[in-house]
Amino acid sequence: MRVIDFKDDVTIAKRRLADLPDRVVEGDPHHETQMRFKSPDGTMLAGTWTSTPGKWIAFADRDEFCVLLSGHIKLIGEDGVEQEFRAGDSFLIPNGFRGYWHVLETTTKHFVIRDYTAD
């Protein structure tokens, strides 16, 4: 086991979120994920993610810690409470959050996810 350097080789995945039409609320966001780490059991993930503007239903069943490297987003809870984040901000989306991701300008983040669906 070694320390994961985010400059090391990565697996890159690209997708158009509209391919999940039940999730997209606004726009045509495209995502690129550079996977830097995945635990053997699949429950811990870390990497770098970029999204073009758009709004979609947030993914659930996970804890996600994020550090925004660039861009501007809003997280909107199902209760209507909006929180804005910009480059340099960090935040944790706890398991149980229900609401929306709204990428206002192309955004890149580092992330660490604890995925409860992989258990």
Summarised one tens digit per residue, pLDDT across range 9-47 is: 788 999 998 888 788 999 999 999 999 999 999 999 999
Strand positions, DSSP E, 1-119: 11-16, 24-27, 30-38, 44-51, 54-57, 62-77, 82-86, 90-93, 99-115
Give the pLDDT confidence of 79-112 residue by residue, as tens digits: 999 999 999 999 999 999 999 999 999 999 999 9
Question: Taking 70 as the threshold, does the pLDDT of residue 119 lie above it?
Answer: no
The total of structural domains in the chain comes to 1
What amino acid is encoded at 60 in this protein? A
Residue 5 inside a domain? The answer is no
Neighbours of 45 (CB within 10 A): 19
Candidates 87, 88, 90, 91; CA nearest to 104 is: 87
Residue 110 inside a domain? The answer is yes
Domain holding 105, by residue range, is: 11-115
Radius of gyration from C-alpha coordinates of the chain: 14
Residue 18 inside a domain? The answer is yes
Residue 3 inside a domain? The answer is no
User: Which pTM does this prediction carry?
Assistant: 0.91
Residue 102 inside a domain? The answer is yes
CATH number for 80 = 2.60.120.10
